[in-house]
Amino acid sequence: MTYLDLDKKKISETAHQLNILLADYHIYYQKLRNFHWNVVGPNFFELHTKFEEMYNDAKLKIDEIAERILTLRFQPTSNFSDYLKMSSLKEASGNTKDVDMVKKLLTDHGKMLKQMRKVVEMADEADDEGTIDLIGGYIGDLEKVSWMLDAWIMKATENHPEA
């Protein structure tokens, strides 16, 4: 790899892990769209807006991850059928209660954070500071959103213990 001065063999594992993260983000994005469209009840306005904010953020990250893979001179995975096979995230029903939607997203966040840390570990072994920097920012962003969603669940279940 000439222009980045990175070892092609070492960076191939980083690219592979980035493709898994790309798959995760595509499943996550679609789940957010699903929840945005199908949320109902007293938390509709709050969650409808939050889910839209989250899927817009995910859409940007999808493009940045794919472009990072290309920068490393590898091919980003681009078929949804492959994403479903590669990702540890699962699709969700639109008939999900609002609190359960948020709980499912928090579960996904845990899986995505684990994958992001794996990307950073592989990038570190390859001396790939660009990927480390990119994904490090994503980790901070997702941890913050997770904290906010978790705080929302605490309040929602306090007001409605049956949730």
The residue segments making up the domain with residue 133 are 8-159
Displacement of CA 129 from its chain's centroid (Å): 20
**Please, which pLDDT band fits residue 157 given cuts at 50, 70 and 90?**
confident
Residue 54 lies inside a defined structural domain of this protein: yes
Residue 28 lies inside a defined structural domain of this protein: yes
pTM comes to 0.94
CA distances for 109 relative to 50, 79, 122, 142, angstroms:
15, 22, 20, 7
First to last CA, the chain: 53
106: left (phi over 0), alpha (psi -120 to 50) or beta: alpha
Displacement of CA 3 from its chain's centroid (Å): 29
Residue 2 lies inside a defined structural domain of this protein: no
CATH code of the domain covering residue 96: 1.20.1260.10
Average pLDDT taken over every residue of the chain: 95
